[in-house]
Amino acid sequence: MEQQRVALVTGSATGIGRSVAWRLAERGFAVTVNYSRSEAEAEETAEGVRSRGGRALVVRADVADDSAVRAMVERTVETFGGLDILVNNAGTTHFVPHTDLDGLTAQVWDDILNVNLKGTFFGCRSAMPHLKARKGNIVNIASVAGVAGSGSSIAYAASKGAVITLTKSLAKAFAPEVRVNAVAPGPVQTRWLADHQDMVEAAMPLTPLKRPASPEDVAAVVLFLADETSLMTGQVLVVDGGRTI
C-alpha cells in the first residue's frame, strides 16, 4: 500500500494558507490545518480539504509557543503516520509608518518576531526529524518586505528578512535530506490588507503586471517548490507582479 503524503500548513484558516491546503488536498495530501483564533474559518478550510479528496486534521496552536508547535507536529505524525511538507505561513504584523521609530515599541517587536521568525523556526525544528525520515521539504512564507525593506513596518520587514536568512541556513544545514525554500509575495489581496487598500493602490503604478497577488498566485508557487521541483533549495521566489525587478 502506497504511503500517504502529509502536509502541515500553519495559519491555514484563511488566505494563502487556505489556498495552499486546498491545492495540496487536490494532489492527495492529508493536511493539518492550523489556526490560532479563527476556528470557524479553519473548519471551513478542513471541509474544503475533504471535499477535494484529502484527509484533514484541525489543530489550534499559537506558533509563537514552542510547546504548542511541538504538540501539533506530534499530533500530525500520530494521526497521519508521518510528515512530508511543512509550510510556515502563519504571520502577523503591526502597521507602523517607517518614519515612526518610537512606534516600534518593544511589544511591537516581540509580537512580530515571536510569530514571524521564532514561530517559523519552532515549526522547522519540530518537523525536521520527521521530514528527514521521509526526505521531505519546507516552504517558508517570507515577503518582498524582507527583500526590499518595505511593507507594513520596519519590524515586519526585519522579521521577513530574517526568515529568508533562516531559510538559507537550514537549507545548507539539512541538505540533501531536506530541502528548504521560501516564497516572498508582494501585496496579497487577503483580509490582512482589507483596511489598508491605500498600500495596495500605491504599489500598483510601480508594478509591471498592474495587479496584486491573489492567495492562489502564491499557493501555485508554494506547490511548485514543495511538490514539483527536486533540485531547488535555499531559494526565495518573489511573487509581486514584477515590482522588485
Q: Is 128 exposed, middle or buried (0-12, 13-18, 19+ CB in 10 A)?
A: buried
Provide the grid cell at 103. Answer: 512606534
**Do residues 233 and 170 make contact, with C-beta atoms less than 8 angstroms apart?**
no
C-alpha–C-alpha distance, residues 21 and 6, integer Å: 11
Phi, psi of 125 (to 5 degrees): -65, -45
List residues with catalytic annotation. Answer: 156
Preceding omega of 185 cis (within 30 degrees of 0): no
Mention every residue, 6+ apart, whose C-beta is less than 8 A from residue 129: none
Provide the grid cell at 43. Answer: 473548519
CA distances from 82 to 24, 29, 35, 63, 131 (A): 16, 11, 20, 20, 8
